[in-house]
Structures are given as structure tokens and as C-alpha cells.
Amino acid sequence: MPVFRIGARFVSALIIVGMVLAALPAAATKDPAAVCSASKRKAAGKKANAKLKCVAKAAASKENPPVDPTCMTKAEDKFDLAFTKADDKGGCLATSDAATIEASVDVCVGRIRTQFGIAGGYAAAPPPEGGPAAVAVAGE
């Protein structure tokens, strides 16, 4: 009989844990501003990653050709689409900030290209004085 009682308690505990876990998603609502911000950060990270892959591909070539502009454009297009989707969902604290974030990513990619001696400049003009690039420079 003791084996049965331990088994019954175990099953009861599993049922209670299952009910609690099932109730968690319903109780946990996500803040729309946090979701939007996360989507935008993810898009910026993916853009930087994609552009640096384009740069790495060019750098790995023995002839050291220029970075493929089609590859860079593809990264920019995906970024624009992701930012538009995030803004369209609503809840964003800031909208129409794609150009500012995009410029910051391009500055970062440009600096890395410069560090490795890979030809080319920024894909877009650096942000205006006092923008994100100025903050990054001041923190160096």
C-alpha cells in the first residue's frame, strides 16, 4: 500500500504543477513597448550581422574585391521590413526611428571595416552631431 500512496501524491503534485504552468501564459501579458523595442533591437543586430558577413566574404577572397553591394542592400531591405513590421504592430515608444538606428549600425559596420582595412565607407551617412555615433565616440 505505501507504494500506491507515494504514486498518488506524485500524480497529484504533477497535476497541480501542470495546472499552474497552464495558467502562466494567460496571466503573463507582454508589454507592447517592450515587444516593439525587442523587435527593433533584433532587427538592428541582424542587419549588423548580415552586413559583416558580406564584409567577411569579401575579405576572405584572395583578390580582396569590394563588398558586394547586392549583399549589403539585401541586409538593408530586411532591416527596413522588420522595422516597418515592428512599427505597424503598434505599442512602440518611438516610431520613425529606423533611419537613426540604421545609421548607428552602419557606423558600427564602417568602423569594423576600417579596423580590418577593408575598402569602403559607411553605407549611409553617419548620424548628425550629438546622435548615437557621438555617444559611442564619447564612450570610447
**Residue-wise pLDDT tens for the chain (140 aa)?**
454 445 556 666 566 666 666 665 544 468 888 899 999 999 999 999 999 989 888 888 777 678 889 999 999 999 999 999 999 988 888 888 999 999 999 999 888 888 877 776 544 444 444 544 443 433 33
Question: What's the pTM value of the predicted model, to 2 decimals?
Answer: 0.65
Helix (H) or strand (E) holding 85: helix 69-89
Phi, psi dihedrals of residue 67, rounded to the nearest 5°: -65, 135
Cell of 64: 580582396
Question: Which cell numbers hold the place of 74?
Answer: 539585401
Is residue 86 within 8 Å of residue 43, measured between CB atoms? yes
Q: CA 79 to CA 45: how far, in whole Å? A: 9
Q: What does the alpha-carbon distance between residue 50 and residue 65 come to, in Å, rounded to a whole number? A: 18
